[in-house]
Amino acid sequence: MCCATGWPTRPRPVRAENPVTVCLSSTFTKGDLDISDSPRASMIAYCGLRTRRPDTCSRAELAGPARPLRHRQGRGVDGVALAGMSGVEQPGPCSQLGGHIDDLLVSSGQTLRNAAAETGRAFHRPRRCGNRAAQARNRGHGVNRHRPGPDHRHPPIGGSAVSLHCHADVGGRGGPPGERAGGLIRRTGVTGRPAMRVPLTVDDFLYRAEAVSAQAVAIVDEPVQPATPVRTTTYADLLTRIRAWQAGLDALGVGESERVAVVSQNAARLLELMYAVPSSGRICVPVNFRLRGEEVDYIVRQSGASALFVDPELDESLKIVRAPHRFVLGGETDEHVMRFDIAPREWSDPHEDATATINYTSGTTARPKGVQITHRNIWVNAMSFGMHLRLWERDVYLHTLPMFHANGWGLPYPLAGLGVRQVVLRKVDGAEILRRVDEHDVTVMCGAPAVWKAVLDAAATWDGEVPGRGRVRIVCAGAPPPTRMIQRIEEELGWEFIQIYGLTETSPIVTFNRTRPADTALPAAQRAGRLGRAGAPALGVQVKISPVGEVLVRSNVVLDRYWDNPDATTEALANGWFHTGDGGTIDDEGHLTISDRKKDVIITGGENVSSIEVEDCISHLPEVAEVAVIGVPDEKWGETIKALVVRTPGTEISEKDVIVHCKQRLAGFKAPTTVEFRDTIPRTATGKIQKFKLREPYWAGHRRGVN
């Protein structure tokens, strides 16, 4: 009988270069090998398969140069026994040899056709004989002796050429290879040479969370929200809830690779879905909750979402947004979606190049594009970010960053893997951030410059010592921060300031900048200036500047493609580099400085001016709370510089004051020619200023956005 006694915990194939016959308990369906009814046949191993179909069992001959098959602890592949050597027929029930055959392991639900595609090896169907008698012989005891011709030969992989001649759906009930910890499968998936190539998926972080940190506090939900808050969970509780979400999606008929959109402020349920959806082979689409209904509707339709989950506060404003399955997060999903009574189905074909999330760009220059981020992207970003940030188990993370934004910059995944406590903050408020830091002993936060400005403002009226001094480290991204703000954070708050640069398309970390040991003795202002740079390339990232000054990136964190937008994909990934659209320079220390978005560079009298540089200069004025610099049309100079300024409450400053201040510190052509004072400067949910919107009124009637 072709059955072994149990799955090895970590299947390690042994070498098999003698032709060997593998016997499978199976039936044939339309010429393809189908072993789905084999009780525990959930994995096979092969090295160059050619189908054989004797009466007693289905055979696949393994072709390769002669070398003995070595045994491994007397254990065979569960549901698949090895029989025969050198292609010798073995009539009757197959004898069992312990060991795995080299080259590929196929897990539950995986087909050999897909497996061949995974390893880049050719797949060939068995040749059919030209007459009925020959076909009958092949269906009976006769053996299909056709061998691949020269056109079927392929370069050796690890020392042996492979030609695959069978197609098997492997879907037994025994489950995939691997270990089960508290019910969570550690899937080994499909592996080729090297023999132990395990797919990098979101599951890895959840597996470790449950295996190592089951009793550690996982999520402290926002207490003030329209839905009933999720009670504080341990990582064991979190994994139970994740499986309940997955089982609920199963019941709804939402299949693998289908999209699940979520529109919500920061909340535990959103975080749970960011884990549950991709780890089950589906694709999560976190949507910016500050978008108008029409914009959300565009994203949901463009992504083809099968299911839509909406925060209760947004339900009314998003009534026009529909999907085949639509639910309001909270009581409705707890009662009608989550299934705690059944186990979810397993992801049939886990692989690291599968799309995990589609994150839509913030649209600072055009209509949002869907960025396809793979499991591999998430995994590499998590490892690199976690290492540079020096995350560890004793950290406490406050979600000041919107979770929808580049998957909360990808941090929820390493946080789970390390068993870090995560505290949810629904809305950014400077005083509330200080209270949470104090209450929960927070050590790490992320956000745009606008977040840290709000904290600085709140700290000015905080009663007593600012919490977290000497303990908290903050990561800033989304827009280049003014150097004066960096200095204030370190001096007034006593928090460590770290800057990264990245994009939604890069998962997002590209560069990382924190104070180096050699810089600690520098004056505060000089140290802040050095921290104002975007930073040095993160581990595994290559950065260069194109001849026209654009920042180009090559890395494993770069997007797979734009969803249903091949033209944009081709443009962005031209010549094997990701084109960021940002202008920048790299200094002698290898640090990148972002000068501007390409479309935000102001060209006045033939001179290029970085709006960021001018904004940084103006921000040093204590009377200036916020500033945005744009180019406006000018008959003489083509463009001229306009500063849009928000005054600090209770202060006064004139247009002349701002212009004189800039001329004293910058080249004359960089100083603004006009200053307009405003009550507010609109920003996106991620803290970015949409300058194309600020420019629109001034460029009305012009054919181009530059003059």
Q: State the SS3 of 265-298.
A: CCCHHHHHHHHHHHHCCCEEEEECCCCCHHHHHH
User: 194: cis peptide before it, omega within 30°?
Assistant: yes
Q: Record the tokens describing residue 532, joined without a space.
A: 């104002």
Do 136 and 32 share a structural domain?
A: yes
Domain ends where: 317, 352, 373?
373
Do 169 and 50 share a structural domain?
A: yes
The predicted-structure confidence for 338-379, as pLDDT tens digits, reads as follows 999 999 999 999 999 999 999 998 654 457 899 999 999 999
The predicted-structure confidence for 650-700, as pLDDT tens digits, reads as follows 999 999 999 999 999 888 888 999 999 999 998 876 677 878 889 889 988
Give the position of tokens 């004989």: 129
Do 299 and 203 share a structural domain?
A: yes
The predicted-structure confidence for 440-485, as pLDDT tens digits, reads as follows 999 999 998 889 999 999 999 999 999 999 999 999 997 778 899 9
The amino acid present at 69, given as its one-letter code, is L
Instruction: Kindly tell me if the per-residue pLDDT of 47 is higher than 70.
Output: no
Do 293 and 183 share a structural domain?
A: no
Domain hosting residue 670, numbered range = 601-699
Report the Cα–Cα distance between both ends of the chain, in Å, rounded.
Answer: 80
Going by DSSP bridges, is the β-strand pair 496-502/473-476 parallel, antiparallel, or unpaired? Answer: parallel
Query: Is residue 511 assigned to a domain?
Result: no
Report the pLDDT value the prediction gives residue 366, as an integer from 0 to 100: 55
Question: In this structure, what CATH number is given to the domain that contains residue 664?
Answer: 3.30.300.30
Do 163 and 27 share a structural domain?
A: yes
- Helix 430-440 to helix 449-459 angle (10° resolution) is 80
SS percent in the chain: helix, strand, coil, step 5: 30, 25, 45
Domain ends where: 351, 373, 395?
373
Do 690 and 626 share a structural domain?
A: yes
Query: Is residue 407 assigned to a domain?
Result: no
Q: Record the tokens describing residue 33, joined without a space.
A: 């090998």
Question: In this structure, what CATH number is given to the domain that contains residue 294?
Answer: 3.40.50.12780
Report the pLDDT value the prediction gives residue 640, as an integer from 0 to 100: 92
Banded pLDDT at 105 (limits 50, 70, 90): very low
Is 269 in contact with 286 (CB distance < 8 Å)?
A: no
The predicted-structure confidence for 590-645, as pLDDT tens digits, reads as follows 999 988 777 677 878 767 787 888 998 999 999 999 999 999 988 777 789 999 99
- The better pLDDT of the pair 48, 234 is held by 234
The amino acid present at 542, given as its one-letter code, is Q
Do 181 and 263 share a structural domain?
A: no
Which of 589, 586, 510 lies closest to 555 in space, CA to CA? Answer: 510
Query: Is residue 252 assigned to a domain?
Result: yes
Which of 351, 282, 328, 363 lies closest to 107 in space, CA to CA? Answer: 351
Gap between the Cα atoms of 558 and 546, Å rounded: 17
Contacts of 562 (CB under 8 A, 6+ apart): 369, 370, 371, 372, 568, 569, 572
Element (H, E) at 629: strand 624-634
For the chain, give the mean pLDDT.
78
Gap between the Cα atoms of 578 and 556, Å rounded: 11
Report the pLDDT value the prediction gives residue 220, as an integer from 0 to 100: 98
The predicted-structure confidence for 282-338, as pLDDT tens digits, reads as follows 999 999 898 889 889 999 999 999 999 999 999 999 999 999 999 999 999 999 999
Gap between the Cα atoms of 24 and 81, Å rounded: 7
The predicted-structure confidence for 219-247, as pLDDT tens digits, reads as follows 999 999 999 999 999 999 999 999 999 99
Gap between the Cα atoms of 259 and 356, Å rounded: 10
Output the pTM of the full model: 0.67
DSSP codes of every residue in 497-512: EEEEEE-GGGSSEEEE
Domain ends where: 373, 396, 416?
373
- Helix 268-279 to helix 203-213 angle (10° resolution) is 120
Do 205 and 181 share a structural domain?
A: no
Sign of CA dihedral 573, 507, 270, 207: positive
Report the pLDDT value the prediction gives residue 594, as an integer from 0 to 100: 87
The amino acid present at 125, given as its one-letter code, is R
Do 168 and 59 share a structural domain?
A: yes
Gap between the Cα atoms of 605 and 607, Å rounded: 6
Report the pLDDT value the prediction gives residue 310, as an integer from 0 to 100: 98
Gap between the Cα atoms of 696 and 392, Å rounded: 46
Instruction: Kindly tell me if the per-residue pLDDT of 174 is higher than 60.
Output: no
The amino acid present at 688, given as its one-letter code, is K
- The better pLDDT of the pair 264, 25 is held by 264
Query: Is residue 410 assigned to a domain?
Result: no
Query: Is residue 534 assigned to a domain?
Result: no
Report the pLDDT value the prediction gives residue 363, as an integer from 0 to 100: 54
Contacts of 588 (CB under 8 A, 6+ apart): none
Residue 215: other Cβ atoms inside 10 A: 10
Which of 146, 96, 105 lies closest to 124 in space, CA to CA? Answer: 146
Query: Is residue 589 assigned to a domain?
Result: no
Gap between the Cα atoms of 232 and 427, Å rounded: 19
The predicted-structure confidence for 524-571, as pLDDT tens digits, reads as follows 999 999 999 999 999 999 999 999 999 999 999 999 999 999 999 999
Do 155 and 110 share a structural domain?
A: yes
Which of 545, 515, 544 lies closest to 528 in space, CA to CA? Answer: 515
Distances (CA, A) of 273 to 26, 137, 356, 371, 582: 38, 54, 12, 18, 32
Report the pLDDT value the prediction gives residue 79, as an integer from 0 to 100: 33
Residue 242: other Cβ atoms inside 10 A: 26
Gap between the Cα atoms of 190 and 354, Å rounded: 13
Is 358 in contact with 377 (CB distance < 8 Å)?
A: no
Query: Is residue 247 assigned to a domain?
Result: yes
Number of domains in the chain: 3
The alpha carbon of residue 106 and the mean position of all alpha carbons in its chain are separated, in whole angstroms, by: 25
The alpha carbon of residue 87 and the mean position of all alpha carbons in its chain are separated, in whole angstroms, by: 46
Do 93 and 235 share a structural domain?
A: no
Residues 666-670: contacts with CB within 8 Å, 24+ apart? Answer: 666/613, 666/614, 666/617, 669/604, 669/605, 669/607, 669/609, 670/609, 670/613, 670/614, 670/641
Residue positions counted in the chain: 707
Gap between the Cα atoms of 610 and 197, Å rounded: 46
Do 27 and 167 share a structural domain?
A: yes
